[in-house]
Amino acid sequence: MRTSRRDGMETRQRLLEAGCRVFAEKGYQDANVADICRRAGANVAAVNYHFGGKDALYGEVWRHIFDTFMQAYPVDGGLPADSPAENRLYALVLALLHRPFDDGRLGEGFQLAVREMVSPTDVFAGTYRELVTPVRTRTHALIRELLGPAATGQQVLYCEISLINQCLSANFSRGRRKLLFGRERFSRAQLEGLARHITDFSLGGIAAIRALAESGQCGS
Amino acid sequence: MRTSRRDGMETRQRLLEAGCRVFAEKGYQDANVADICRRAGANVAAVNYHFGGKDALYGEVWRHIFDTFMQAYPVDGGLPADSPAENRLYALVLALLHRPFDDGRLGEGFQLAVREMVSPTDVFAGTYRELVTPVRTRTHALIRELLGPAATGQQVLYCEISLINQCLSANFSRGRRKLLFGRERFSRAQLEGLARHITDFSLGGIAAIRALAESGQCGS
Amino acid sequence: MRTSRRDGMETRQRLLEAGCRVFAEKGYQDANVADICRRAGANVAAVNYHFGGKDALYGEVWRHIFDTFMQAYPVDGGLPADSPAENRLYALVLALLHRPFDDGRLGEGFQLAVREMVSPTDVFAGTYRELVTPVRTRTHALIRELLGPAATGQQVLYCEISLINQCLSANFSRGRRKLLFGRERFSRAQLEGLARHITDFSLGGIAAIRALAESGQCGS
Amino acid sequence: MRTSRRDGMETRQRLLEAGCRVFAEKGYQDANVADICRRAGANVAAVNYHFGGKDALYGEVWRHIFDTFMQAYPVDGGLPADSPAENRLYALVLALLHRPFDDGRLGEGFQLAVREMVSPTDVFAGTYRELVTPVRTRTHALIRELLGPAATGQQVLYCEISLINQCLSANFSRGRRKLLFGRERFSRAQLEGLARHITDFSLGGIAAIRALAESGQCGS
DNA sequence: AATGAATGAGCCTTCATTCAT
DNA sequence: GATGAATGAAGGCTCATTCAT
For the residues C145-163, what does the mean pLDDT come to? 96
User: What is the per-residue pLDDT for C2?
Assistant: 36
By CB atoms closer than 10 A (0-12, 13-18, 19+), residue A107 is: middle
Residue type, A3: T
Per-residue pLDDT band at A1 (split at 50, 70, 90): very low
Radius of gyration of chain B from its Cα atoms, rounded to whole angstroms: 20
- Chain B residues 44-103 with Cβ under 7 Å of strand F are 44-46, 49-50
User: What is the per-residue pLDDT for A217?
Assistant: 55
Find, among B27, B90, B99, the residue nearest to B70 by Cα.
B99
User: What is the per-residue pLDDT for A3?
Assistant: 37
B44 CA – E10 C1', rounded, Å = 14
- Closest nucleotide (CA of B51 to C1')? E13
pLDDT mean across residues, chain C: 86
> Closest-CA residue in chain A for B192?
A220
* Of the partner residues B162, B189, B212, the one whose CB lies closest to the CB of residue A198: B162
Find, among A50, A47, A41, A34, the residue nearest to A9 by Cα.
A41
Asked whether strand E has any atom less than 7 Å from the CB of B54, the reply is yes
> Closest-CA residue in chain A for B120?
A175
Spatial CB neighbours of D20, under 8 Å, sequence gap ≥ 6: D61, D64, D65, D105, D108, D109, D112
Whether the pLDDT of residue D63 is over 60: the answer is: yes
Whether the pLDDT of residue B179 is over 60: the answer is: yes
Higher pLDDT, C83 or A103: C83
For the residues D145-165, what does the mean pLDDT come to? 96
- Chain A residues 68-97 with Cβ under 7 Å of strand E are none
CA distances from B114 to B55, B162, B173 (A): 18, 18, 9
**Alpha carbon distance A182, D8 (integer Å):** 63
Per-residue pLDDT band at C4 (split at 50, 70, 90): very low
Q: Which CATH class is domain A1-55?
A: mainly alpha
Asked whether strand F has any atom less than 7 Å from the CB of D32, the reply is yes
User: What is the per-residue pLDDT for B105?
Assistant: 80
Higher pLDDT, B50 or C170: B50
Whether the pLDDT of residue A4 is over 60: the answer is: no
A29 CA – E10 C1', rounded, Å = 14
- A5-54 pLDDT, tens per residue? 445 578 899 999 999 999 998 999 999 999 999 999 999 999 999 999 99
User: What is the per-residue pLDDT for C75?
Assistant: 66
Asked whether strand E has any atom less than 7 Å from the CB of B44, the reply is yes
User: What is the per-residue pLDDT for C73?
Assistant: 67
Whether the pLDDT of residue C177 is over 90: the answer is: no
Q: Do chains A and D touch (3 or more CB pairs under 8 A)?
A: no
Per-residue pLDDT band at A94 (split at 50, 70, 90): very high
Contact (CB<8Å) B27/A119: yes
For the residues D98-114, what does the mean pLDDT come to? 84
Say which range, A200-209, B74-83, B145-154, has the weakest mean pLDDT: B74-83
Asked whether strand F has any atom less than 7 Å from the CB of D37, the reply is no
Q: Which residues of A touch B165 (CB under 8 A)?
A: 165-166, 169-170
**Alpha carbon distance D165, C163 (integer Å):** 10
- Is the CB of residue B113 less than 8 Å from the CB of residue B61? no
**Alpha carbon distance C159, C141 (integer Å):** 12
Whether the pLDDT of residue A76 is over 80: the answer is: no
**Alpha carbon distance C93, C97 (integer Å):** 6
Task: Annotate D169-207 with b (16+ C-beta within 10 A) or e (fewer).
Answer: bbbbbebbbeebbeeeebeeebbbbbbbbbbbbbbbbbb
Whether the pLDDT of residue C58 is over 70: the answer is: yes
What's the length of chain B? 220
- B8-66 pLDDT, tens per residue? 578 999 999 999 999 999 999 999 999 999 999 999 999 999 999 999 999 999 888 87
**Alpha carbon distance A153, D85 (integer Å):** 108
Whether the pLDDT of residue C6 is over 50: the answer is: no
H helices present in chain B, as ranges: 11-30, 33-39, 46-51, 54-72, 85-101, 105-118, 122-147, 153-168, 174-181, 188-214
Min Cα separation B110/chain A (Å): 11
What are the residue ranges spanned by the domains of chain D? 1-55, 73-215
Element (H, E) at A159: helix A153-168
Asked whether strand F has any atom less than 7 Å from the CB of A34, the reply is yes
> Closest-CA residue in chain B for A147?
B201
Protein-proximal nucleotides of chain F (any atom < 7 Å from a CB): 1-20
User: What is the per-residue pLDDT for A132?
Assistant: 79
- Is the CB of residue D22 less than 8 Å from the CB of residue D35? yes
For the residues A150-176, what does the mean pLDDT come to? 89
Whether the pLDDT of residue C53 is over 80: the answer is: yes
Find, among C165, C199, C170, C164, the residue nearest to C101 by Cα.
C170
Per-residue pLDDT band at D141 (split at 50, 70, 90): very high
Whether the pLDDT of residue D135 is over 90: the answer is: no
Higher pLDDT, D150 or A115: D150
C125 CA – F13 C1', rounded, Å = 37
Per-residue pLDDT band at C46 (split at 50, 70, 90): very high
Asked whether strand F has any atom less than 7 Å from the CB of B9, the reply is no
- Is the CB of residue B206 less than 8 Å from the CB of residue B146? yes
* Same fold: A1-55 with A73-215: no
**Alpha carbon distance D110, D113 (integer Å):** 5
| Dihedral over Cα of C138, C140, C146, C148: its sign | negative
Whether the pLDDT of residue D197 is over 90: the answer is: yes
Find, among A184, A131, A187, A175, the residue nearest to A25 by Cα.
A175
**Alpha carbon distance D19, C59 (integer Å):** 30
User: What is the per-residue pLDDT for A54?
Assistant: 94
- Is the CB of residue C174 less than 8 Å from the CB of residue C69? no
Min Cα separation B9/chain A (Å): 31
Whether the pLDDT of residue C207 is over 70: the answer is: yes
Per-residue pLDDT band at B150 (split at 50, 70, 90): very high
Say which range, A88-102, A132-146, A165-179, B12-26, has the weakest mean pLDDT: A165-179
Q: Which residues of A touch B159 (CB under 8 A)?
A: 197, 201
Asked whether strand E has any atom less than 7 Å from the CB of D11, the reply is yes
Contact (CB<8Å) C204/D200: no
Per-residue pLDDT band at B217 (split at 50, 70, 90): low
Best B108, B139, B154, B220 residue to mutate vs chain A (most A CBs within 10 Å):
B220
Spatial CB neighbours of C71, under 8 Å, sequence gap ≥ 6: none
- Chain C residues 40-69 with Cβ under 7 Å of strand E are 44-45, 47-49, 53-55
**Alpha carbon distance D154, A135 (integer Å):** 90
* DSSP per position, A76-118: TTT--TTS-HHHHHHHHHHHHHHHHH-SSHHHHHHHHHHHHHH
Whether the pLDDT of residue B218 is over 80: the answer is: no
> Closest-CA residue in chain B for A155?
B197
DSSP 8-state class, residue A72: H
**Alpha carbon distance D11, D4 (integer Å):** 7
Find, among D207, D113, D170, D161, the residue nearest to C97 by Cα.
D161
Per-residue pLDDT band at B7 (split at 50, 70, 90): low
> Closest-CA residue in chain D for C132?
D179
> Closest-CA residue in chain C for D191?
C220
Min Cα separation B3/chain A (Å): 38
**Alpha carbon distance A15, C44 (integer Å):** 52
pLDDT mean across residues, chain D: 86
Classified as helix, coil or strand, B185 is coil
Radius of gyration of chain A from its Cα atoms, rounded to whole angstroms: 20
Asked whether strand E has any atom less than 7 Å from the CB of A12, the reply is yes
How many CB contacts within 8 angstroms connect chain A with chain B?
Answer: 159
Whether the pLDDT of residue A68 is over 50: the answer is: yes
Q: Which residues of A touch B170 (CB under 8 A)?
A: 161, 165
- Is the CB of residue D191 less than 8 Å from the CB of residue C187? no
Q: Which residues of A touch B158 (CB under 8 A)?
A: 194, 197-198, 201
- D161-178 pLDDT, tens per residue? 999 999 988 777 777 788
Element (H, E) at C129: helix C122-147
% of chain B surpassing 70 pLDDT: 93
| Dihedral over Cα of D4, D10, D14, D19: its sign | positive
- Chain C residues 48-107 with Cβ under 7 Å of strand F are 49-50
- Closest nucleotide (CA of B30 to C1')? E11
Tell me phi and psi for residue D37, to 5 degrees: -65, -40
User: What is the per-residue pLDDT for A77?
Assistant: 65
Residue type, A184: E
- Is the CB of residue D174 less than 8 Å from the CB of residue D111? no
Min Cα separation C173/chain D (Å): 6
A85-94, A125-134, B123-132, B171-180: range with highest mean pLDDT: A85-94
**Alpha carbon distance A14, B136 (integer Å):** 43
* DSSP per position, chain D: ----SSSSS-HHHHHHHHHHHHHHHHHHHH--HHHHHHHTT--TTHHHHHHSSHHHHHHHHHHHHHHHHHHHS-TTTT--TTS-HHHHHHHHHHHHHHHHH-SSHHHHHHHHHHHHHHS--HHHHHHHHHHHHHHHHHHHHHHHHHH-TTS-HHHHHHHHHHHHHHHHTT-SSHHHHHHHHS-S---HHHHHHHHHHHHHHHHHHHHHHHHHHHTT----
For the residues C27-33, what does the mean pLDDT come to? 92
Contact (CB<8Å) A220/B196: yes
Spacing of C-alpha D142 from chain mean position: 19
Residue type, C16: L
For the residues C42-57, what does the mean pLDDT come to? 93
Higher pLDDT, B187 or D173: B187
For the residues A126-132, what does the mean pLDDT come to? 76
User: What is the per-residue pLDDT for C64?
Assistant: 87
User: What is the per-residue pLDDT for A152?
Assistant: 96
Per-residue pLDDT band at C118 (split at 50, 70, 90): confident
Say which range, A127-136, C5-14, C88-97, D22-31, has the weakest mean pLDDT: C5-14
For the residues A161-172, what does the mean pLDDT come to? 88
Say which range, A121-130, A193-202, D9-18, has the weakest mean pLDDT: A121-130
For domain A73-215, the CATH architecture is Orthogonal Bundle (1.10)
SS3 of A4-66: CCCCCCCHHHHHHHHHHHHHHHHHHHHCCHHHHHHHCCCCCCHHHHHHCCHHHHHHHHHHHHH
